[in-house]
Amino acid sequence: MSFVGKVWKILVGIKDGLVLLFMLLFFVALFGILSARPNPGQVRDGALLIDLSGTIVEEKSALDPIEALLSRSAPVGETRARDVVRALDAAATDARIKAVVIDMTTFLGGGQVHLKDVGEAMDRVRKAGKPVLTYGKAYADDHMLIAAHASEVWLDPIGVAVISGPGRMNLYYAGLLEKLSVNARVYRVGEYKAAVEPWSRTSMSDEARANIGGLYGALWEEYKANVTRARPKLQLARITGDPQAWIGSSGGDMAGAALAAGLVDKLGDKARFGARVAELAGKDPWNDKPGSFAASNLGAYLADLGESRAGKKIGVITIAGEIVDGKAGPGVAGGTRIADLLDDALDDDLAALVVRIDSPGGSVNASEEIRRAILRYRDRKIPVAVSMANMAASGGYWVATPAERVFAEPETVTGSIGVFAVIPTFEGTAARLGVSADGYRTTPLSGQPDFIGGFTPAMDTLLQTTITGTYKDFLKLVSKARRIPVERVDAIAQGQVWDGGTARQNGLVDAFGGLPDALAWAAAKAGAKDGEWHAVYLGDRGENYDSLVRQLVTREEAQAPLAGGGDLFAMTALRSENLGARLLRDAERLTGTRGIQAFCIECPAGPAVTGSARPARPEGMLALLTWLAGR
């Protein structure tokens, strides 16, 4: 009995130890969650510090905590554009805020519309008599769209600032596919649908070059006008016209060249920059390290501002990223997820709905699922407006067709009305390897799709007919929505992409304006006066565990590639890292089971999509046929 008693005491001790351990872990986790969440109590007199680490986006991507913890890495940081604008507008009239500091040390960029919105908000802060300062080790095109609006632009003495202008090089795989004897079967409608050219050509077609050249030309003119208006002393023509002579004139001193050309105002390290901010906003009473100053960070400041709940509710549904089938997102526009959000809010007594789009399109089936969900609001006589951000192209325009009024910016990329699909078959590759396919058919479609033996003429005709029919449906949707004859829509469609100004001339857009303009219109349409309504973002979630997980997995070495981008070689290396992801994405587009696509691959590249999701079972005829063949 004494032996049993001793064993029992040991087991009880182990149990008590485990209980204490789990309790300790619980309270540590609870403390971490509470400390990771933005705390309004951290707001104090001084500067508003906005750390633009990563990219500026319309909608932050979902973070998978298990995947992040197992891989010990988190996706690139994201900051919502509307959060930055809201904080800047509040800071303009907040007596606690003496200055605004924007740290761009690890900033990677954003869409032109978002950057313009941030810049205009910075102008409003300066108009209120408060200084706005930026600091960075490297300034490129996107950085300068923001920094140009600052009262003081600081650059590290060993840093670099340069403007290269918009442009994009596509990869073309026709030569590689020919060497591999892979037959990329392209089904398309639209003379300008350049999205399929990487699989069928070795270079850009003249039609695509002319259309995309016009788009980039318009975006470049808007860029130059924005930057030079905000920073008149900037020698933009010198910087972009003859960069070799410009850099050579400074003897290779990139920071000195940037200062001489008016790209930046001051050269100094973080300590000197911080000392300057302390002169304007006050010293940090709890931190005497070089470069410290009194400041409140963006998260705490937004938490302190709170949310307006007065008056009627104007719903905002965000369609950001590639449109895909299923419940993917946020950060990716899963058709089912967005349709569910819209349907769940149908009984929420919304006075109006604003559809905010920042998407190059994607799956036709998912786009149609979203469009039908938006139409259910129109059926209930609820006013619907569309607000286009950086892009609303292809499927992004498909989902805009139910709107009563469409708002866009001059820098918005839209149009790309066209559809396509690419399916690879391997009859040539199989023949080279000594593999052949044979069998018995009862009909021309028996055994199809056959990826080894190839498609029959009947199969090819069926697939192309499906694409043609979908394109006609697209034209009819646009024709009805915009009250334009189908023939006229076809003339401005054909896969052509347009800037916001040209799209307005073509009748695809009603008015220039951002999200605030669309919200104001929708509220007025619903009978609400100024101050008698507030926006409700459908599906908007708080930080949850995002901040805590990022703190756990983000290490100093993980930030090194971003923070170390203070010279041209580091910036070049960062671009080369993106090349691998681009190659993988292109390969997935060719071999993935994606169905009919209304997608603008040729649109200007924005921040990389950090999330993705694939449906367990694809939808649509093309996807279904491919899926069945793989069973």
Interstrand relation of 78-80 and 54-57 (parallel, antiparallel or unpaired): parallel
Amino acid, single-letter form, for residue 492:
I
Amino acid, single-letter form, for residue 306:
G
The pair of three-digit structure tokens given for residue 537, joined into one six-digit string = 């973002």
Residues 220, 501: contact at Cβ < 8 Å? no
CB burial class (10 A; 0-12, 13-18, 19+) of residue 349? exposed
Grouping H, G, I as helix, E, B as strand and the rest as coil, residue 549 is helix
β-partners of residue 497 are 415
Grouping H, G, I as helix, E, B as strand and the rest as coil, residue 564 is coil
Of how many residues is the chain composed?
Answer: 631
SS3 content of the chain, % helix, strand, coil (to 5): 45, 20, 35
Grouping H, G, I as helix, E, B as strand and the rest as coil, residue 491 is helix
* Residue 394 designated active-site: yes
Residues 506, 499: contact at Cβ < 8 Å? no
β-partners of residue 358 are 320
Q: Distance between CA atoms of 331 and 609, rounded to whole angstroms?
A: 7
Q: Distance between CA atoms of 555 and 552, rounded to whole angstroms?
A: 8
Residues 87, 50: contact at Cβ < 8 Å? yes
Residues 466, 596: contact at Cβ < 8 Å? yes
Q: Distance between CA atoms of 489 and 507, rounded to whole angstroms?
A: 9
3-state SS, one letter per residue, for 383-447: CEEEEEEEEEECHHHHCCCCCCEEEECCCCEEECCCEEEEEEECHHHHHHCCCCCCCCCCCCCCC
Q: Of 53, 367, 394, 416, which is the active-site residue?
A: 394
Q: Write down the H helix ranges in 37-165.
A: 65-71, 81-93, 112-127, 141-147
CB burial class (10 A; 0-12, 13-18, 19+) of residue 599? buried
Neighbours of 481 (CB within 10 A): 19
Which DSSP helix (H) or strand (E) runs through 358? strand 352-359
Amino acid, single-letter form, for residue 354:
V
Q: Distance between CA atoms of 569 and 578, rounded to whole angstroms?
A: 15
* Residue 193 designated active-site: yes
φ and ψ at residue 255, rounded to 5 degrees: -65, -40
β-partners of residue 47 are 99, 295
CA end-to-end span of the chain: 63
Whether a cis peptide bond, with omega within 30° of 0, leads into 243 is no
Which DSSP helix (H) or strand (E) runs through 239? helix 236-241
**Catalytic positions, written as ranges:** 193, 394
